Amino acid sequence: MPKQKVSIDFILRQSLRLFREKSYHNTSIADIAEACGLLKGSLYHYFPSKEALMNEVVKYAHAYFKKNVFSIAHNQELTAQEKMEQIFKKSEKSLLSHGDLMANVGVETANKNKEFTENIQTFFEEWIETVKIVFSEIANEEDAQQLAEQTVLEFEGAVMMTRIFKDPKFVHNAYERLINRFAAFSLNPNK
Amino acid sequence: MPKQKVSIDFILRQSLRLFREKSYHNTSIADIAEACGLLKGSLYHYFPSKEALMNEVVKYAHAYFKKNVFSIAHNQELTAQEKMEQIFKKSEKSLLSHGDLMANVGVETANKNKEFTENIQTFFEEWIETVKIVFSEIANEEDAQQLAEQTVLEFEGAVMMTRIFKDPKFVHNAYERLINRFAAFSLNPNK
Amino acid sequence: MPKQKVSIDFILRQSLRLFREKSYHNTSIADIAEACGLLKGSLYHYFPSKEALMNEVVKYAHAYFKKNVFSIAHNQELTAQEKMEQIFKKSEKSLLSHGDLMANVGVETANKNKEFTENIQTFFEEWIETVKIVFSEIANEEDAQQLAEQTVLEFEGAVMMTRIFKDPKFVHNAYERLINRFAAFSLNPNK
Amino acid sequence: MPKQKVSIDFILRQSLRLFREKSYHNTSIADIAEACGLLKGSLYHYFPSKEALMNEVVKYAHAYFKKNVFSIAHNQELTAQEKMEQIFKKSEKSLLSHGDLMANVGVETANKNKEFTENIQTFFEEWIETVKIVFSEIANEEDAQQLAEQTVLEFEGAVMMTRIFKDPKFVHNAYERLINRFAAFSLNPNK
DNA sequence: GATGAATGAGCTTTCATTCAT
DNA sequence: AATGAATGAAAGCTCATTCAT
């Protein structure tokens, strides 16, 4: 049966979902193929190895965040508060469903695959940088850095906890806290 | 030839180290056996399966934290500030070397093994509860809960980031921030 | 879009080169297709299977030797010595670059494909017969047979050794030896 | 079922037989395991990979020739003629049954595995050196080298032909020729 | 004729687990 | 208790082949 059954985009989305849900090692090529309606051998038309596929998935997720989340920091039409709200609302929506690919894979492959690690590091650097840009509107350089780091780490911790407890309250609570803190800080900035 | 070559405690410590360093899936029974000076088959005299071993390791790490970290909250001889400092100093010391077993395994096995998940949930509940007890000395019930949650999540996020970046600065920074925040809050409590 | 991109002759020459260079099993249909500027599937318009292609390649190489090497024995304008020189000069030139298809495939597929084996047997029979014809000019029937066999086997052994050592000296030396022996025998024939 | 079913030596002998009979690529790990009465996974107790196994097989065959064939050249109790006879009688006996591992693998893996190639080169160097030692008893250095090279190449060519034709006559004939040549040369040496 | 997505059988390899010694 | 040979299921991957376009 020739006729294209799937697109690369579709494979990446299915892979992303499975890697998030089950982690890298618990997801087999056969699992992904099945989710795509293919046999495992067929996946190798699109990706030369499981690692290469994973790498593309990481890039895909990164690109998604770049376009849909990180870009918000540069939206001139929004107030700083609105930026924060949208950034983490989007993140929450994206991460809540299946967990955070970057964190999972980052931890699972930290000592294994250099390219994974570098891509994931870049992702988090950009995320912190994004939040720092918004904080810079209400805080000085140094404070903005620490506040951004704090905010992203807390949010990441919350995503992890939501995963472990299968309870979205951790991310919800974290969202409320960080938005309130931002509002409070805005009223009494140290800029 | 009978004669016990190793103690269960020794196996658990070796396993804990390896699971932290390499994650659950990247650590084989042979790896653990080798680290213990045993051969694969011999491990099965101590634990009926890799999962059962992992479960004991989780309990072991939990017990360690209970005794060495969580207990600090009940030490009557310490001020609240001292408690916070010691709790996270101890945690930092314990987690920095190899990463956080609970988070790794929690994420890696979230949808796989119910018993792991429950034990890990209990661990984090107790950790948050521990920190809440300290915050209760300077904040009301509801604030203490949120502040404890925030603090533990940020610290967990920092441990993860330190792992991914192989850079202890994330945990160091998080420690400094949370201690300073606690001090600042102490001066101006809303209790 | 019809329009033939390549000729059967071209495919056979590319296949011959690859099978010689990399052996039958180390050459994939995709390799051959790529060398021809085609894609895998397209090769099946020309040949029903890899084995059938190989068979045609064997025939192609056989035909080449028939026309360019074996024919020399019947060239009335040459002396016996000149015939020997030309036969093995041509063989050397043809085999040195990539090794001897017949020997490779003959050995690799000896118990696998009857048709290959038969074609390759015929090839070597004709080669030995060719050399025998030349030896018959200076030796009796029985000696000519043995001398021809000896000469071809030594030359084949030399080709193999040149392949294994990646050093053309073995074929060069063999050529010198067999030409000198022929000259010496000519001076003192036992016909 | 623990209890050792096979020895490493047994695996090597079975592997040697199969690689000779069917070539490297036509022999699967499952084939070898089956020949040993094992399942394929079990072979990995003894050898870390198919390539490593092959390498041991090459060494095994080399050691066999060293001990049983090459050593003959140094047997002080034999005449040169007797040495030649025994060397090639032994070789014939060893190679006739299944073909020549070194030649098969050498050709199949010539551009693939450096260690194979080097080991096989050493084997042939030693073989030629062995024959050269015997020729040195009746010829000068330079002649001995060429005569040894010629003799081994012819014999190797004969082994290959015997394989392709499934007819031992090529090796038989080569043996007769080379023994007779040696005898003739002994009577009229140019030393 | 050419394409290339898809197949499916088969490969090498890994690894938790068992059990006779 | 310790061994380590053996298992067997499952993994990642390759590749000759098919076929709708």
Structure confidence by residue, pLDDT tens digits, B73-105: 999 999 999 999 999 999 999 887 667 888 888
Through-space separation of residue C49 CA and nucleotide E4 C1' in angstroms: 18
Is the pLDDT assigned to residue A114 strictly greater than 90? no
Overall average pLDDT of the B117-140 stretch: 95
Identify the residue whose tokens are 């007890």: B133
Query: B30: pLDDT confidence band, cut at 50, 70 and 90?
Result: very high
pLDDT of residue D122: 95
SS (H, E, C) chain D: CCCCCCCHHHHHHHHHHHHHHHCCCCCCHHHHHHHCCCCHHHHCCCCCCHHHHHHHHHHHHHHHHHHHCHHHHHCCCCCHHHHHHHHHHHHHHHHHCCCCHHHHHHHHCCCCCHHHHHHHHHHHHHHHHHHHHHHCCCCCHHHHHHHHHHHHHHHHHHHHHHHHHCCCHHHHHHHHHHHHHHHHHHHCCCC
Instruction: Please state, in angstroms and rounded to a whole number, the distance separating the CA atoms of residues B172 and B158.
Output: 8
- For chain A, the average pLDDT equals 92
Three-state secondary-structure class, residue B100: coil
**Cα dihedral: A59, A64, A70, A71 (round 10):** 120
Could you tell me the two tokens for A76?
A: 């001139």
CATH number at A57-187: 1.10.357.10
- The CATH H-level (homologous superfamily) assignment of domain B55-187 is Tetracycline Repressor, domain 2 (1.10.357.10)
Best of C164, C175, C190 to disrupt the D interface (most D CBs within 10 Å) is C164
SS3 C39: coil
Say which residue the tokens 């360093």 belong to.
B21
R_g over Cα of chain B: 18
B121–A contact, CB cutoff 8 A: yes
pLDDT band at A97 (very low <50, low <70, confident <90, very high): low
Looking across all nucleic acid strands, the nucleotide with the smallest C1' to CA distance from residue C44 is: F17
Closest partner residue to C107 (CB to CB) among D103, D152, D154 is: D103
Domain spanning C49-187: CATH superfamily? Tetracycline Repressor, domain 2 (1.10.357.10)
Instruction: Spell out which residues of B between 14 and 43 contact strand E, using CB within 7 Å.
Output: 27-30, 40-41
Structure tokens, C140: 């009796």
Q: C-alpha angle B96/B98/B104, rounded to 5°?
A: 105
Give CA–CA dist B167/A38, Å, rounded.
Answer: 41
B93 touches chain A (CB under 8 A): no
Q: Which residue of B has its CA nearest to A113?
A: B164
Residues 50-109 of B with CB under 7 A from strand E: 50-51
The sign one gets for the Cα dihedral D78, D80, D84, D85 is: negative
Q: Tell me, in Å, how far CA of A42 is from C1' of F8?
A: 26
D11 to chain C, minimum CA–CA distance in Å?
Answer: 22
Instruction: Provide the 3-class DSSP secondary structure of residue C167.
Output: coil
Cβ count within 10 A of residue A34: 14
Distance from CA of B138 to the nearest CA of A (A): 18
d(CA C173, CA C128): 20
Contact status of D114 with chain C (Cβ, < 8 Å): no
B-facing residues of A in 24-63 (CB < 8 A) are 25-26
Any chain A CB within 8 A of the CB of B157?
yes
A interface test, pick of B31, B104, B164 with most A CB neighbours within 10 Å = B164
User: How confident is the prediction for chain D on average, in pLDDT?
Assistant: 92
Cβ pair A124:B174 closer than 8 A: no
Token representation of residue A16: 């992303």
The residues, any chain, with a CB within 8 Å of residue B107's CB and separated by 6 or more, are: A23, A99, A103, A104, A107, A160, A163, A164
| pLDDT category of residue D2 using cuts at 50, 70 and 90 | low
CB of C117 less than 8 A from some CB of D: yes
Closest CA to D91 of D164, D167, D154, D10: D154
What is the rounded average pLDDT for all residues in chain B?
91
Contact A88/A182 with Cβ under 8 angstroms? no
Q: Any idea where the domains of chain A sit in the sequence? A: 57-187
- How far B172 CA sits from the closest chain A CA (Å)? 12
Q: For chain E, which bases have at least one atom within 7 A of a protein Cβ?
A: 1-21
Q: Is the CB of C40 under 7 A from strand E?
A: yes
CB contact under 8 A, B23 and A107: yes
Torsions phi, psi of D136, nearest 5? -65, -20
Reported as a single tens digit per residue, the pLDDT across A39-66 is: 999 999 999 999 999 999 999 999 999 9
The CA distances from residue C168 to A147, A167, C165, in Å, are: 71, 72, 8
Instruction: Report which residue type is found at B125.
Output: E
Q: Please list, in sequence order, all residues whose beta carbon lies within 8 angstroms of the beta carbon of residue A104, skipping any fewer than 6 positions away.
A: A19, A20, A23, A24, B107, B108
Give the CB-side neighbour count of residue D155, counting CA atoms within 13 A.
27
pLDDT of amino acid C113: 79
**Using a CB-CB distance cutoff of 8 angstroms, which residues of chain A are in contact with residue B124?**
161, 164-165
Q: Taking CB atoms and an 8 Å limit, are B103 and A104 in contact across chains? A: no
> In a 3-state reduction of DSSP, which class is residue C4?
coil
Chains B and C touch (3+ CB pairs under 8 A): no
Residue A92's Cα: distance from chain center in Å?
9
**Residue contact B153–A154, C-beta within 8 A:** yes
Residues of chain C falling short of pLDDT 70? 1-3, 97-99, 190-191
Pairwise CB contact (< 8 Å): D99 & C112 = no
| CB contact (8 A) between residue B160 and residue A121 | no
Distances from the Cα of C108 to the Cαs of A42, B125, C33, D22, in angstroms?
Answer: 29, 66, 22, 7
pLDDT in the model for residue C7: 93
Q: pLDDT exceeding 90 applies to what percent of chain A?
A: 76
For chains A and B, count residue pairs whose Cβ atoms are closer than 8 Å.
Answer: 121
C144/chain D closest Cα distance in angstroms: 13
> D91 vs C105, C106, C152, C165, D75, CA distance in Å?
23, 21, 20, 21, 16
* pLDDT tens-place string over residues D58-101: 999 999 999 999 999 999 999 999 999 999 999 999 887 666 88
Task: Find and list the nucleotides of strand F having atoms within 7 Å of a protein beta carbon.
Answer: 1-21
**Res A111: pLDDT:** 74
Q: Which of C25, C107, C111 sits opposite D160 (nearest CB)?
A: C107
Instruction: Report the largest interatomic distance among the alpha carbons of chain C, rounded to a whole angstrom.
Output: 67
Residue D84 contacts residue D127 (beta carbons within 8 Å): no
User: Is the pLDDT at B112 greater than 90, yes or no?
Assistant: no
- A122-132 mean pLDDT: 97
CATH number of the domain located at residue range(s) D50-187 in this protein: 1.10.357.10
pTM of the model: 0.91
- Pick A106 or C14 by higher pLDDT: C14
- Distance from the A2 Cα atom to the nearest Cα atom in chain B, whole angstroms: 36
Residue C38 Cβ under 7 A from any strand E atom: yes
Q: What residues contact residue B176 under an 8 Å CB cut-off, 6+ apart?
A: none
pLDDT digits (tens, 9 = 90+) for D115-171: 888 999 999 999 999 999 999 999 999 999 999 999 999 999 999 999 899 899 999
In this complex, which of A25, A153, A173 lies closest to B158 when CB atoms are compared?
Answer: A153
D158 and C163 within 8 Å at the Cβ level: the answer is: no
Average of per-residue pLDDT across B113-134: 93
pLDDT in tens, D8-58: 999 999 999 999 888 899 999 999 999 999 999 999 999 999 999 999 999
A43, closest nucleotide (Cα–C1')? E6
Q: How confident is the model at residue A188 (pLDDT cuts 50, 70, 90)?
A: confident
Instruction: Please say whether the beta carbons of C177 and D146 come within 8 A.
Output: yes
Chain D: give the shortest CA distance to residue C116, in Å. Answer: 10
Nearest alpha carbon to residue B88 among B176, B191, B189, B4: B176
